[in-house]
């Protein structure tokens, strides 16, 4: 998606450790108008697939998931990164290691919000090593629901997670794929 | 806002410890269509105030903040609950105790995303004892920016936080105010 690639080129900052900082529009400050256009593009990609629910993970996936869901007219469910006092009852749960925070989280979804009838689109802001995405796929399958695919804002192609998940037969559509960002210069696939 | 009160009556669950569970539409599963209408109502309340930025706090404030921001055409900034490796540089920071999680968080916003020229509307999903809201007001003032007021989805009026913040001269508009929910029956102000 050209508009997103231009925004990344203009405002993204490459930090040591393969970190791409896009806090000015995606995961600290949010450019709601840009996210709405990204939501429209996600709908163009998956609008014919019969999506009944969009699944994301807190915190920074929530904005893009909501802006996409508006175009689909379906609810969002966001997986939580630790078991809250407020969840209770049956939960689907998986352990996920965060690339950014170097921590292992329990990622949970309450059983009542994913059912075997659901056709789920997974939406997230970043795809790096693929662990969060595989965790979300696992949660959907625990519910007996169908994973239609994933829509990602920014995939760090050079970290291999996207290709790994694709090789497992899951459709993955990323709005921007970074092939390389060594030395601070960003090259898209 | 009648539509929200009806939704709370229909789907809200009162748990011991003054917890109101609204995970089916607000803070686990998200009813995007309802949140869009709530955003419209927030715009009706503050649309003439010259808002330049909407500030919220992760995670469950992000959805309602984004859906409101769409109507204002301004960016959202979400405060983070601990200092991420990705923030860096100057930050505004305040300590906030969470009512739900019984934990004290460092709540931070990167300096670059709030400036003295900003006229800030604070948006959040819940207002209980007011500590999160006062923390956000503090962050805005650290930046030298102006707090125009707060728009809250659900205020637990009986916990007193909303009235406390109003008594300090901050405009607080809540779309639903729960006066009492003892014994599981919900009464609105």
pLDDT for B2 equals: 97
Nearest chain B CA: its distance from A55 CA (Å): 9
The answer to whether the CB atoms of B30 and A77 lie below 8 A apart is: yes
Band of pLDDT at residue A180, cut at 50, 70 and 90:
very high
How many of the other CB atoms lie within 10 Å of CB of A48?
8
Average per-residue pLDDT for chain A: 94
**A123 DSSP β-pair partners:** A151
Report the residue of chain B nearest A78, measured CA to CA: B28
Q: What is the pLDDT of residues A100-117, one digit of tens each?
A: 677 888 999 999 999 999
Confidence of residue A184 (pLDDT cuts 50, 70, 90): confident
A52 phi and psi angles, rounded to 5 deg = -110, -15
CA torsion through residues A156, A158, A159, A164, sign: positive
Contact A96, A102 (CB under 8 A): no
Confidence of residue A161 (pLDDT cuts 50, 70, 90): very high
pLDDT on residue A84: 56
> pLDDT-derived band of residue A87, with 50, 70 and 90 as boundaries?
low
Q: Read off the pTM.
A: 0.95
Collapsed DSSP state (helix, strand, coil) of residue B100:
coil
User: Which two tokens mark B73?
Assistant: 């055409």
Cβ atoms of A57 and A79 closer than 8 Å:
yes
Task: Work out how many CB contacts closer than 8 A connect A with B.
Answer: 128
Average pLDDT over every residue of A130-144: 97
**List of chain B residues whose C-beta atoms are within 8 Å of the C-beta of residue A66:** 30, 32, 35, 62-63, 66-67
> What is the mean predicted confidence (pLDDT) over A9-26?
93
Q: Do B82 and B94 touch, CB atoms closer than 8 A?
A: no
Residues 6+ apart with CB under 8 A from A116: A143, A144, A145
Query: What's the rounded Cα separation, in Å, for the pair B168 and B106?
Result: 23
Cβ separation of A85 and B69 shorter than 8 Å? no
Chain B positions in Cβ-Cβ contact with residue A113 (cut-off 8 Å): 23-24, 28-29
Distance (Å, whole) CA B74 – CA B149 = 15
- Residue A82: the pLDDT is 78
User: By CB neighbour count within 10 A (0-12 exposed, 13-18 middle, 19+ buried), where does B98 fall?
Assistant: middle
Helix (H/G/I), strand (E/B), else coil: B51: coil
Interface contact flag, A19 B86, Cβ < 8 Å = yes
Q: Which of B19, B29, B32 sits opposite A86 (nearest CB)?
A: B19
Q: How confident is the model at residue A86 (pLDDT cuts 50, 70, 90)?
A: low
Measure the CA–CA gap between B99 and B130, rounded to whole angstroms.
9
What's the pLDDT score for residue A16?
87
Segment A153-179 shows an average pLDDT of 97
Phi, psi of B59 (to 5 degrees): -100, -40
The CA-atom distances, in angstroms, between A75 and each of A47, A70, A119 are 14, 8, 12
How far is Cα A124 from Cα A146, in angstroms, rounded to an integer? Answer: 17
What stretches in chain B show pLDDT beneath 50?
Answer: none
pLDDT of residue A9: 96
B120 vs B97: CA distance, rounded Å = 22
pLDDT at site B97: 86
Query: Is A86 an 8 Å CB contact of chain B?
Result: yes
Please give the average per-residue pLDDT across A58-83, as a whole number: 94
């Amino acid at each position: 998606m050209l508009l997103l690639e231009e925004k990344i080129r203009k405002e993204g900052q490459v930090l040591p450790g393969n970190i791409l900082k896009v806090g000015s529009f995606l995961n600290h400050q949010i450019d709601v108008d840009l996210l709405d256009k990204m939501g429209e593009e996600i709908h163009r990609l998956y609008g014919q697939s019969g999506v009944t629910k969009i699944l994301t993970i807190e915190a920074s996936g929530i904005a893009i998931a909501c802006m996409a869901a508006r175009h689909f007219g379906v609810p969002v469910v966001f997986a939580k990164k630790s078991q809250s006092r407020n969840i209770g009852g049956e939960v689907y749960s998986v352990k996920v290691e965060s690339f950014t925070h170097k921590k292992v989280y329990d990622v949970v979804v309450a059983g009542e919000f994913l059912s075997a009838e659901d056709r789920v689109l997974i939406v997230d802001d970043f795809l790096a090593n693929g662990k969060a995405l595989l965790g979300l796929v696992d949660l959907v399958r625990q519910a007996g629901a169908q994973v239609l695919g994933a829509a990602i804002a920014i995939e760090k192609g050079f970290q291999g997670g996207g290709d790994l998940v694709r090789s497992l037969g899951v459709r993955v559509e990323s709005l921007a794929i970074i092939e390389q960002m060594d030395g601070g210069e960003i090259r898209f696939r």
